[in-house]
């Protein structure tokens, strides 16, 4: 007998069918037992005569149930199943180490992550990843329609992308190698290789020592890079449209998951306000009396400037633009002596994107590498391509776990990673 999925019961009212899934809850009354079964599509209450002994099944066992579909009246499903027989496919061997069968999953983060496979069974947890799926799909869909080619670039590299120190080293046969901190060089190279517009969704690696609620040492970076732009405004424009597209998709196709998480998608009909980095620092000083910044932005500053954007522009997003040259990597297009054609996008108090225009002229690039105190020879594999026709170009990267966490108002970015890697966590 074919398995029927729980969200298709409406097609089988009055019929005898088979469903399969996990035993979510059991409640035994005097003559009948209620068993709630969960499959990947939903929950359904099954009503069973006590003579069948369903009350002895261990919670979270995998079972199949044969029975007749009836109209029901519980909050989980408008239908229920009158059980005729059941079969235990794989019984749970032990009582559960965490209680996942309540409407709220009341666990601290470490316990949740240590028991990841079980905690993911909770609707409020697996809904996070269903929404994340829609974000990724939206990212790819929008860009594919817009002429972008998907790329897969190496994560084992012979040199660090940005000359930084926060990089994992590995032994690659006789050589030293590193885990890529970003696909930056490769996506630029592939713009120049004639694809013009490229994107990648893949892991990147940062050996950052600090443990915060918004950093992961391995995370999924949604990168894009495009040629033949005027300047960084083109990149911000595409990001605006991209985010609108993604949010519309999540709203439409993710209704069920948003409801489970009790989350509303922010309205993004207006353009995202754009503010110079230097102006943002001025505002922080004047409006919030934040005098400890010393020309830099800190996490509290990001929160406050988002607060400001909400109050003054009615936007939960804000682009900060014209970042100082000293704060941006060597490939960033300079603007005058001290600024750059670059931006960050902040969303609800956290940076979710860094982007900008890149240098496309060979000589300017070599000079900027020197200006940054780096050695051009070390970047030869990257710089040499600028000799053979590189168009003006730019791009951005969105942290997948970060945008998920911000959109869903999760307290910690780790909640938006299936199996997060941080300073101390290598398992499960």
Of residues 313-342, those binding its own copies (CB under 8 A): none
126 binds its own copies (CB under 8 A): yes
- Residue 28, beta-bridge partner list: 33
293 binds its own copies (CB under 8 A): no
Look at residues 268, 272, 263, 212 and name the one whose alpha carbon lies nearest to residue 237: 272
414 binds its own copies (CB under 8 A): no
Query: 40 or 252, CB closer to its own copies?
Result: 40
What mask, x for binding its own copies by CB under 8 A, covers residues 17 to 36? ---x-xx-------------
Residues 6+ apart with CB under 8 A from 281: 293, 295, 297, 301
The C-alpha torsion from 402 through 405 and 406 to 411, rounded to 10°, is -120
Using CB under 8 A, which of 30, 75, 93, 269 touches its own copies?
93
Residues 6+ apart with CB under 8 A from 226: 148, 191, 196, 197, 198, 234, 235, 238, 393, 394, 395
197 binds its own copies (CB under 8 A): yes
Which among 67-75, 90-98, 263-271, 350-358 is the span making contact with its own copies, rule CB under 8 A?
90-98
- What angle, 0 to 180 degrees and rounded to 10, lies between the N-to-C axes of helices 299-313 and 277-288? 90
218 binds its own copies (CB under 8 A): yes
Using CB under 8 A, which of 143, 179, 281, 403 touches its own copies?
179
CA distance 74 to 71: 10
Query: 154 or 299, CB closer to its own copies?
Result: 154
Using CB under 8 A, which of 341, 360, 402, 414 touches its own copies?
360
291 binds its own copies (CB under 8 A): no
CB of 276 to its own copies, least distance (A): 27
CA distance 230 to 234: 7
165 binds its own copies (CB under 8 A): no
CB of 327 to its own copies, least distance (A): 26
Using CB under 8 A, which of 32, 76, 109, 177 touches its own copies?
177
- Tokens standing for residue 369: 């590498």
96: DSSP letter = -
């Amino acid at each position: 007998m074919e398995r029927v999925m729980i969200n298709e019961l409406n097609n089988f009212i009055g019929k005898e069918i088979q469903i399969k899934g996990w035993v979510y809850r059991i409640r035994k009354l005097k003559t009948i037992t209620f068993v709630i079964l969960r499959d990947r599509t939903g929950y359904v209450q099954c009503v069973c005569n006590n003579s069948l002994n369903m009350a002895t099944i261990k919670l979270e066992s995998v079972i199949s149930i044969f029975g007749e579909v009836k109209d029901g009246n519980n909050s989980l499903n408008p239908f229920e199943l009158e059980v005729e027989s059941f079969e235990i496919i794989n019984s749970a061997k032990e009582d559960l180490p965490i209680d996942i069968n309540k409407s709220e999953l009341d666990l601290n983060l470490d316990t949740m992550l240590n028991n990841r496979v079980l905690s993911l069974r909770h609707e409020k947890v697996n809904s996070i990843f269903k929404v994340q799926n829609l974000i990724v799909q939206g990212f790819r869909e929008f860009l594919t329609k817009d002429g972008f080619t998907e790329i897969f670039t190496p994560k084992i590299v012979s040199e660090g992308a940005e000359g930084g120190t926060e990089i994992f080293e590995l032994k690659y046969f006789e050589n030293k190698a590193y885990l890529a901190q970003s696909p930056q060089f490769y996506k630029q190279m592939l713009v120049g290789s004639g694809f013009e517009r490229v994107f990648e969704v893949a892991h990147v690696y940062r050996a950052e020592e600090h443990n915060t609620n918004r950093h992961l040492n391995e995370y999924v970076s949604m990168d894009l890079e495009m040629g033949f732009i005027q300047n960084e405004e083109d990149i911000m424009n595409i990001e605006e449209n991209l985010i609108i597209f993604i949010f519309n998709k999540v709203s439409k196709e993710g209704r069920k998951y948003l409801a489970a998480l009790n989350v509303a998608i922010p309205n993004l009909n207006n353009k995202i306000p754009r503010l110079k980095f230097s102006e943002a620092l001025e505002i922080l000083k004047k409006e919030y009396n934040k005098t400890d910044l010393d020309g830099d932005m800190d996490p509290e500053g990001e929160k406050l400037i988002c607060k400001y954007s909400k109050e003054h522009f009615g936007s939960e997003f804000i682009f900060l633009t014209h970042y100082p040259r000293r704060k941006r990597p060597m490939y960033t297009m300079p603007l005058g002596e001290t600024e750059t054609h670059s931006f960050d996008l902040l969303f609800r108090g956290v940076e979710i994107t860094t982007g900008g225009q890149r240098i496309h002229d060979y000589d300017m690039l070599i000079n900027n590498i020197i200006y940054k105190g780096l050695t051009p020879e070390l970047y030869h594999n990257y710089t040499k391509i600028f000799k053979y026709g590189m168009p003006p170009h730019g791009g951005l990267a969105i942290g997948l776990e970060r945008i998920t966490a911000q959109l869903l108002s999760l307290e910690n970015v780790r909640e938006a990673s299936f199996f997060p890697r941080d300073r101390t966590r290598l398992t499960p």
